[in-house]
Chain A
Amino acid sequence: MPVTYEEFADSRLGALLRYAVMLTGDPHTAQDLVQDTMVRVQLNWRRVAASDSPDGYVRKMLTNQFIDLRRGSWLRRVLLRAEPDPAPAVPTDHAHETAERDRIWGMLAKLPRRQRAALVLRFYEDLPDADIAEALGCAVGTVRSSISRALATLRAELVEAR
């Protein structure tokens, strides 16, 4: 029995939003990224559902959309948003303690998008190299070098900051 779009959205939308937050670092941008991707998912639902892994297919669509964001229309919409949505509560307690720890989160924003995506897929989604390569549309070797280059950048910046 093939999964329907509704079933897919019901079960996967939360995880996709979390993934998009890790990619973009910002709830509004994440929401627009997911919205745009999901409209395209619906337009192409038969192809998505027929793929070996609808999950992986959509992750790939969303990742590509994130990496190619200049080509897409969604960034423009992000920048020109008319009605800001109420921002979800950001934890503010222990702000002082977390400031140091969140330095790494801020550094992620400076990485090239492809490298950031590779880090999220590895250390948040916990995917094996082959699946990361699939999502990024590149070779496994490229995944490994992207991740090690990104980690080296982060490490160097952290050392400098401390």
Chain B
Amino acid sequence: MSGIEEELRAAFARHETLAPPVAPVRARIDQAWVRAKRRRLARRITGAAAAVLLTGAAVPTVLQRWEHAAAPTVTLAGEAPPPAPAGPLDLLLLGSDNRLRWQDPAEQHADSVMIVHVPADRSRTYLISLPRDGEVKLPGGRPARLTETLDQGGPALTEQVVSELTGIDFDARVTVNLRALRAVTAAVGGVDMCLTETVKAQTTGQRFPKGCQHVGADEVSALLQARYGLPNGSYDRDRIAQRFLRSLAAKLTADGTLSDPARAHALLTAARDGIELDGPAGPLLAAAGGLGSAEVVGISEPSFRATAAGRERIYPAVGPGLFAAVRGDTVQTWVRANPRYVTK
């Protein structure tokens, strides 16, 4: 009775040696995954557009290449609503400085680098700021400041470096300049935002008092550029940018701009010169309405953390856990455990 069972066990055990070695299989799986992911990107980009729009930064100007200044193809009427995207979305948001010429990549600095994470349940949008002067490794191993990657290799290099650092594969990359933010702000009639300390703009000399206030389109650039004189320099500036995007998102969702195609269209038209979304898909804004009430949560390093050599480091204490939480879609749990890093 047990004879055949024993023979079976023995036959299985003998043939274990047929199993292929793990490493080459692992490599082939990774290659197949990249291909599968690329196919999926086309479907998910719609969700990306929605998430980006929520952060006040969406003109899906579809660019095939960084230098290529394509005309935006915004078509809204008559298009069937896209299927609701599933799964979490990770975008890389690059805010670049418009004191420099937008068209010349060699003059760009990534003055603000944020990971935008929208969890699968769409309950929130997380903005994770990376310090602009934080040290990163360029391909080849040479160290550089994060802000330098944009003029050394364009947004693609910045994305590559951030992916390398964090292990996050981005669904899309969005590059925004201040002019576009000004246009969006003008289109919504200004935003109401709160500051935790008084900010003095070094470009215009304007004072933004501590507390809540109305910020008009003409003031946005000055406020978002302010860095000197703040207790934590660019770290505080990153938090101001997060608060601004949060206020903008609140305004956009509260007044129904996102769910009104005509107004969304006007908004996108206003901002279209300054925002670029990489990726293959056309703009399908219907999905943006689904994100209407999501809460925006900012995450940032409280202050400067340097190496012994004086180089600035990116989330030296919590980075691995934070980035793993993004990859595993458990940022909410991470935030609860690390309230110190959450922007008020």
Contact = CB atoms under 8 A, between A and B. Distances in A.
A104 B26 contact: no
Nearest to B327: A4
B101 interface: no
A12 to B, nearest CB: 10
Contact of A151 (B5, B36, B329): B5
A91 B17 contact: yes
Interface in B1-60: 4-5, 7-22, 24-26, 28-29, 32-33, 36, 40
Which DSSP category, helix, strand, loop or mixed, fits chain A's interface? helix
B87 A46 contact: yes
Contacts of A104: 4, 7-8, 11
Contacts of A102: 11, 14
Contacts of A27: 18-20
Contacts of A101: 7, 10-11, 14
Interface stretch (A14-22, A54-62, A127-135, A137-145): A14-22
B28 A35 contact: yes
A21 B13 CA distance: 11
A17 B19 contact: yes
A65 interface: no
Which DSSP category, helix, strand, loop or mixed, fits chain B's interface? helix
B167 to A, nearest CB: 8
Given A22-B12, A98-B14, A154-B4, A43 B19 contact: no
A84 interface: no
A89 B21 CA distance: 11
A136 interface: no
B209 interface: no
Contacts, number: 104
Interface string A69-111: 0000000000000000100111100000010011011001000
Given A31-B20, A124-B9, A154-B4, A105 B32 contact: no
Contacts of A89: 17
B68 to A, nearest CB: 30
A39 B32 contact: yes
Interface residues of A, number: 43
A26 B15 CA distance: 10
Contacts of B11: 101-102, 104-105, 108
Contacts of B21: 88
A65 B113 CA distance: 42
A88 B87 CA distance: 38
Given A21-B19, A46-B88, A123 B9 contact: yes
Interface in B310-333: 324, 327-330
B120 interface: yes
Contacts of A18: 16, 19
18 contacts: A4-B324, A9-B26, A9-B29, A14-B19, A18-B19, A30-B18, A31-B25, A34-B25, A46-B87, A46-B120, A88-B18, A88-B19, A91-B14, A91-B17, A102-B11, A105-B14, A123-B9, A154-B8
Given A17-B22, A101-B14, A124-B12, 13 more contacts: A2-B328, A14-B22, A18-B16, A22-B15, A27-B20, A31-B20, A39-B29, A88-B17, A88-B20, A91-B14, A101-B10, A104-B7, A108-B11
Interface of A: 2, 4, 9, 13-14, 17-18, 20-22, 25-27, 30-31, 34-36, 38-39, 42-43, 46, 49, 85, 88-91, 98, 101-102, 104-105, 108, 119-120, 123-124, 151, 154-155, 158
